[in-house]
Structure 1
């Protein structure tokens, strides 16, 4: 959800069959990851193999893997062939409402909730087709592009100049918006001796903002008397 899309390779339909609708809704709509221990507890992971060395190549890890392989008799269990475990419809709707309230501002969240809920209504193939269609529609949306940009920008390495730089002196300031806050910022900049550019969307709002600055200046002077 945090990058503006829903799972597009069957996740909205396989996960409910593996862990049930309530858990699948929580994971997919919120977009929050879970730990390996939590995944094992809810049945998303069959078994956890622990290593004291933290190295999968050590002897203990190899022995654990071999022992698990020898006792495993499950064979393939395609999730597509499983039924979705039954769940209370009213409780699910209440859960959806709560999740969407928390995800306000994320356009993909209600789409994800709707597609996940279809796991109990449509055939696997029909629901997969709907998931893919919704994924493609979201992927090209403006909000998804913005969220992907934000995701990578937050994780990008900070810029480090390759040679020494010297800060340039600031003598001119531009303020975007001439409303109450913008005119107050403009007044502070003028009082500090800076040249000022005040920007607004239309002439009327700009005129009102310019007129507001001397009035606020007089208010400040009167308050200091």
Structure 2
């Protein structure tokens, strides 16, 4: 060989291939970029399906959904009257005999005052198809009628503007079987006097 290399003796110069460091660096950088883009795309898909963005915003601002409002009771406009202050006329509007007296006796045991007991007037006789009908003056709509209604839950409630006095009428209808069990009626009275608190809600949701 001539030129740059000259052979002398029995030793030959070692020929080394050019190093490819530049190509390896480029391949390494490209691999990192590809892996980074794939990871970012995966995170974006996870956020879409799990709502990660909403959770992050809720945790970052001051109105997170974890703050609950206190339960509050709905105050009644006025205290409900006790059964001993309510006078009830028990009237039978069916063709079955003895219902008025039996029902009146049971109401008396439960603390109600009993007025008239007998058959319904012609206006309502044999015309009450449901369990019963509770009649009272306009002022009884949110006071005495709900209290009497706890004894006969399925009864219709109705007020009469021209009605005089505070007494109520309980007209027994064709669908009547018996008054509510006293235990159930007492529970209904308790819930009526002390309504349950409203469900708690979350702020900012």
TM-score category, normalised to shorter length:
under 0.3
The structure number with the bigger radius of gyration is: 2
Q: Which has the larger strand fraction?
A: 2
Q: TM-score, normalised by structure 1?
A: 0.20
Q: TM-score, normalised by structure 2?
A: 0.21
